[in-house]
Copies of this chain bind each other. A is one copy, B any other.
Amino acid sequence: MAKEPVRVAAVGLGRWAKVLAEAVKRSKRLRIVSCYSRSEGNRETFSKQYRCRAANSYEELLKDQEVEGVIITTPNDVHKGPILAAAGQGKHVYVDKPIAHTMSDALVIDRVCRSAGVILAVGHSARRLSGSRKMREILDQGGLGKLVMAECNFSNDRSLELTPDKWRWYKDKSPGGPLIQLGVHHADTLNYLFGPIEKVTARTKRLYTPAEVDDVTMTILEMESGQLCYIGSNWASQGTYYTYVYGMNANLYYTVDFNFWSSSEVIDDHSGLEIQHRGSSEHIPIPLTRGDMFREELEELAECLRQKRQPEVGGPEAIAALAVVHAAKRSAETGQTVTLKEVLES
The answer on a CB contact under 8 Å between A232 and B335 is: no
The answer on a CB contact under 8 Å between B205 and A228 is: yes
Binding stretch for chain B, among A15-23, A95-103, A144-152: A144-152
Chain B residue nearest in CB terms to A144:
B237
The answer on a CB contact under 8 Å between A234 and B222 is: no
Chain B residue nearest in CB terms to A240:
B251
**Within 8 Å CB of A201, what residues of B?**
201, 203, 220, 335
Q: In the complex the two chains form, what is the Cα distance from A155 to B276 in whole Å?
A: 14
**Within 8 Å CB of A281, what residues of B?**
257, 259, 270
Binding stretch for chain B, among A131-139, A163-171, A182-190, A242-250: A242-250
Q: Does A207 contact B (CB under 8 A)?
A: yes
Chain B residue nearest in CB terms to A242:
B244
Q: Does A230 contact B (CB under 8 A)?
A: yes
B interface footprint on A157-201 (CB within 8 Å = 1, 0 otherwise): 100100000000000000000000000000000000000000101
Interface centre among A160, A227, A248 (most CB of B within 10 A): A248
B interface footprint on A248-276 (CB within 8 Å = 1, 0 otherwise): 10110000010100000000001000001
The answer on a CB contact under 8 Å between A205 and B230 is: no
The answer on a CB contact under 8 Å between B227 and A216 is: yes
The answer on a CB contact under 8 Å between A216 and B335 is: no
Q: In the complex the two chains form, what is the Cα distance from A151 to B201 in whole Å?
A: 16
Chain B residue nearest in CB terms to A157:
B278
Chain A's interface size range is: 35 or more
**Within 8 Å CB of A270, what residues of B?**
281
Q: In the complex the two chains form, what is the Cα distance from A247 to B160 in whole Å?
A: 13
> Which single member of B207, B208, B236, B248 contacts A157 (CB below 8 Å)?
B248
Separation in Å of the A283 CB from the closest CB of chain B? 10
> Which single member of B155, B157, B228, B248 contacts A218 (CB below 8 Å)?
B228
Q: Does A337 contact B (CB under 8 A)?
A: yes
Separation in Å of the A187 CB from the closest CB of chain B? 16
The answer on a CB contact under 8 Å between A203 and B238 is: no
**Within 8 Å CB of A149, what residues of B?**
216, 218, 232, 234, 237
**Within 8 Å CB of A199, what residues of B?**
203
The answer on a CB contact under 8 Å between B238 and A279 is: yes
Separation in Å of the A213 CB from the closest CB of chain B? 15
Q: Does A153 contact B (CB under 8 A)?
A: yes
Q: Does A104 contact B (CB under 8 A)?
A: no
Closest 10 CB pairs of A and B: A335-B337, A237-B246, A148-B237, A218-B220, A238-B278, A238-B251, A203-B220, A148-B236, A218-B228, A259-B281
Q: Which residues of A contact B (CB under 8 A)?
A: 146, 148-149, 151, 153, 155, 157, 160, 199, 201-205, 207-208, 215-218, 220, 222, 226-228, 230, 232, 234, 236-238, 240, 244, 246-248, 250-251, 257, 259, 270, 276-281, 335-337
Q: List 16 A-B contacts (CB under 8 A).
A: A148-B234, A149-B237, A199-B203, A201-B201, A205-B222, A208-B248, A230-B230, A234-B246, A237-B251, A238-B246, A238-B279, A240-B246, A259-B281, A335-B336, A335-B337, A336-B337
